[in-house]
Amino acid sequence: MREALKYLNNAKDILKTTSIEDNIYTNVKSVQEACGTAYLAVLKAIDEYLLNKGVDEKELPQSVEGYRKMLRKYASVHDGKLFNSFEALYKELHISGYYRGNLRSVDTLRGALKTAKTFIEKTGS
């Protein structure tokens, strides 16, 4: 969990240096970088979670579909909540924020980072 939180803090640091006008981040590239870093934090948390569940490092997922499959298999103890949170974070941070560069609202991005932190904490318990 420590590595995942380090990535998440790096994402927050990127945003601290990004200018804001009318509650909107003005530098799309910085926002994309922060979203990509935050998404990597989520993946690091899942990797650690899976390793703690006995998955061999060589078997860790290499794709989003692989992460979905592993979460369905190993995270059922959370009644699908981890899976649903992952799906939301994938769509928000990776697709909307990183890939498309559409996530620019300060409040929305802060909410996404808070959700990522909660997800990371849940995988550590």
For residue range 57-80, what is the model confidence (pLDDT) as tens digits? 999 999 999 999 999 888 876 567
Q: How many domains, in total, are found in the chain?
A: 1
Q: Assess contact for 61 and 70: CB atoms under 8 A.
A: yes
Q: What is the pLDDT of residue 106?
A: 95
Give the domain CATH number at 86: 1.20.120.330
24 phi/psi in degrees, rounded to 5: -125, 130
What confidence tens digit (pLDDT) does each residue in 2-13 have? 899 999 999 999
Output 95-98 pairs: Cβ under 8 A, ≥24 positions apart. 96/35, 97/31, 97/32, 97/34, 97/35, 97/36, 97/38, 97/39, 98/32, 98/35, 98/36, 98/39
Residue 54 contacts by C-beta under 8 Å, 6 or more apart in sequence? none
pLDDT band with cut points at 50, 70 and 90 for residue 17? very high
**Spacing of C-alpha 72 from chain mean position:** 17
The better pLDDT of the pair 78, 89 is held by: 89
What dihedral do alpha carbons 86, 100, 112, 20 form, nearest 10°? 170
What is the chain's Cα-based Rg?
14
Does position 81 have pLDDT exceeding 90, yes or no?
no
The band of 125, judged by pLDDT with boundaries at 50, 70 and 90, is low
Beta bridge partners of 105: 24
CA neighbor of 28 nearest in space, from 46, 14, 39: 14
Q: What is the pLDDT of residue 1?
A: 76
Residue-number span of the structural domain to which 54 is assigned: 2-123
pLDDT number for residue 61: 96
Give the rounded percent of residues in the chain with a pLDDT score beyond 70: 96
Q: Is the pLDDT of residue 114 over 80?
A: yes
**Residue range 37-50: mean pLDDT, rounded:** 96
